Amino acid sequence: MRKLILSAAVLAVWAAGAAVWATAAPDKPAMRKAPVAYSQSFATTLSKARVATAKYVTNLGAAKAAGYGIITKMIPDMGIHYMNPKVTGFDVTKPPILVYEKAGSGYQLGALEWVFTSKPKTPPLPGARYGAFPAACHYTDGTFVPAATQDACAKTAPDSGAPFSFWHPNLITMHVWLWYPNPSGLYSGTNPLVRPFNAG
**pLDDT tens sequence across 154-167:** 999 999 999 999 99
What pLDDT sits at residue 61?
97
**pLDDT tens sequence across 92-140:** 999 999 999 998 899 999 999 999 999 999 999 999 999 999 999 999 9
Domain boundaries, the chain: 18-134+170-197
The per-residue DSSP string of the chain comes to -PPPP-STTTS---TT-GGG--S--TT-GGGPPPPP---HHHHHHHHHHHHHHGGGTT-HHHHHHTT-EEEEEEETTTEEEEE-TT--S--TTS-SEEEEEEETTEEEEEEEEEEESS--SS-SSTT---EEE--EEEETTS-EEE-SSGGG--SB-TTT-PBEEEEE--EEEEEE--SS--TT-TT-S--GGGGGGTT-
**pLDDT tens sequence across 165-182:** 999 999 999 999 999 999
List Cβ neighbours of 54 (8 Å cut-off, separation of 6 or more).
none
More confident residue, 29 or 191: 191
More confident residue, 21 or 167: 167
What pLDDT sits at residue 4?
38
Residue 26 has pLDDT above 80, yes or no: no
Tell me the C-alpha distance between 155 and 133, whole Å: 21
**pLDDT tens sequence across 58-80:** 999 999 999 999 999 999 999 99
Backbone angles phi, psi at 62, to 5 degrees: -65, -35
- pLDDT band, very low/low/confident/very high, at 37 (cuts 50, 70, 90): low
Residue 22 has pLDDT above 50, yes or no: no
What pLDDT sits at residue 34?
47
pTM of the model: 0.82
Q: Compute the average pLDDT of residues 15-34.
A: 39
C-alpha angle 66-82-98 in degrees, rounded to nearest 5: 85
Instruction: Name the amino acid, one letter, at 32.
Output: R
More confident residue, 155 or 39: 155
What pLDDT sits at residue 89?
79
